[in-house]
Amino acid sequence: LAKTTQPISMDSYEGQEVNITCSHNNIATNDYITWYQQFPSQGPRFIIQGYKTKVTNEVASLFIPADRKSSTLSLPRVSLSDTAVYYCLVERADKLIFGTGTRLQVFP
């Protein structure tokens, strides 16, 4: 299964757009990509899922290029409450690999 890597940390300011990229070079045809948000001492929470191209929901967008070897989570106009760790997950029916996680710090 694809090995997934992410930047360790990112800083941003309130109101800015944040893009977090996950690299999964060995992704397979049947693998789906999901992003989760985790606050300290809490379980992760689902943000968005996609297979290819672009997916958008009320909180984020997910961009997946044609080769699917990476994916980018886009958070529009972040606020202080978006300070958290963000994980990408590449999964198929019999395997799941979480990325290394990106710690996002949002400043006022």
User: Which residues here bind another protein, judged by CB under 8 A?
Assistant: 30-32, 34, 36, 41-46, 49, 51, 87, 91-101
Min CB(46)–another protein separation in Å: 4
Cβ-based nearer residue to another protein, 17 or 92: 92
Q: What angle do CA 29, 35, 38 make, to 5 degrees?
A: 150
Q: How far is CA 10 from CA 52, 57, 83, 93, 102, in A?
A: 25, 22, 10, 31, 7
Min CB(104)–another protein separation in Å: 15
What whole-number distance in Å separates Cα of residue 46 and Cα of residue 40? 15
Cβ-based nearer residue to another protein, 45 or 77: 45
DSSP-derived secondary structure letter, 65: -
Min CB(59)–another protein separation in Å: 13
Cβ-based nearer residue to another protein, 61 or 100: 100
